[in-house]
A and B are shown apart, each in its own frame.
Chain A
Amino acid sequence: DSGVTQTPKHLITATGQRVTLRCSPRSGDLSVYWYQQSLDQGLQFLIQYYNGEERAKGNILERFSAQQFPDLHSELNLSSLELGDSALYFCASSVGAGGLNTEAFFGQGTRLTVV
């Protein structure tokens, strides 16, 4: 158990809908990262938050947004869902925002299926 909790584990929804994925980082970790794992794109970095502020942005679609709350949990919002958004979405957390031993610990992911 990495200490990173993601809910829900599975989500099935229809095209055009909106969903929210939730992540609770390890106790004491200030950074949260979101990754998308799909068959065609592999594992891709979406976005990073550090202590409530956006730190880095990757290949995140405009239909997607995220935030980190004062209690450090994070939510990834996916809207106007398309079939191609079906993927495994990972959250990871780390103590800091960078540096030598900023190991990222991954949650078990949320499997999103868009039908």
Chain B
Amino acid sequence: AQTVTQSQPEMSVQEAETVTLSCTYDTSESDYYLFWYKQPPSRQMILVIRQEAYKQQNATENRFSVNFQKAAKSFSLKISDSQLGDAAMYFCAYRAPQGAQKLVFGQGTRLTINP
């Protein structure tokens, strides 16, 4: 079974600085999808960024980028120029390309932004 591990329960960063959240996963599949979701205090799950495993290029979305290391099964999220609105729980998630389309989530990292 696929598993996702986020080893940092909590992280903090100064406003305008850069922070990297770690995620590792385990799968025997060669193709799959990886996601980072943000959950602010409103509880809404918001998709931040996604990565297809067959794409070597790292995904970027404005201030958010990933470092996808397929061989190491690592998928970290970098947030540049951190803003107060980035404070939230961040979840890394895995999805297989075929069959059940369920998301397998990590335990989450609580990110605090210090003004």
Q: What residues of chain A have their CB less than 8 Å away from a CB belonging to chain B?
A: 2, 31, 33, 35, 42-45, 48, 55-56, 58, 88, 90, 92, 94, 97-100, 102-106, 108-109, 111
Verify A56–B43 contact, CB threshold 8 A.
Answer: no
Q: Say if the beta carbon of B19 comes within 8 Å of chain A.
A: no
| Complex Cα gap A55–B101 (Å) | 9
The 27 sampled A-B contact pairs (Cβ below 8 Å) are A33-B102, A33-B103, A35-B103, A42-B105, A42-B107, A42-B108, A44-B105, A45-B103, A48-B101, A56-B100, A58-B100, A88-B43, A90-B45, A97-B101, A98-B99, A102-B101, A104-B47, A104-B101, A104-B103, A105-B47, A106-B45, A106-B46, A108-B42, A108-B43, A108-B44, A109-B43, A109-B44
Interface of chain A, helix or strand or loop or mixed? strand
Q: Is B52 an interface position by the 8 A CB rule? A: yes
Which listed residue, A48, A88, A98, A109, touches B97 by the CB 8 Å rule?
Answer: A98
| In the complex, the 10 A-B pairs of residues with the closest C-beta atoms, listed nearest first | A56-B100, A106-B45, A45-B102, A43-B105, A98-B101, A42-B107, A109-B43, A108-B44, A58-B102, A108-B43
B45 touches A56 (CB 8 A): no
Which residue of chain A is the closest to B37 with respect to CB atoms? A106
B59 at the interface (CB under 8 A from A): no
B102 CB contact (under 8 Å) in A2, A56, A106, A111: A56
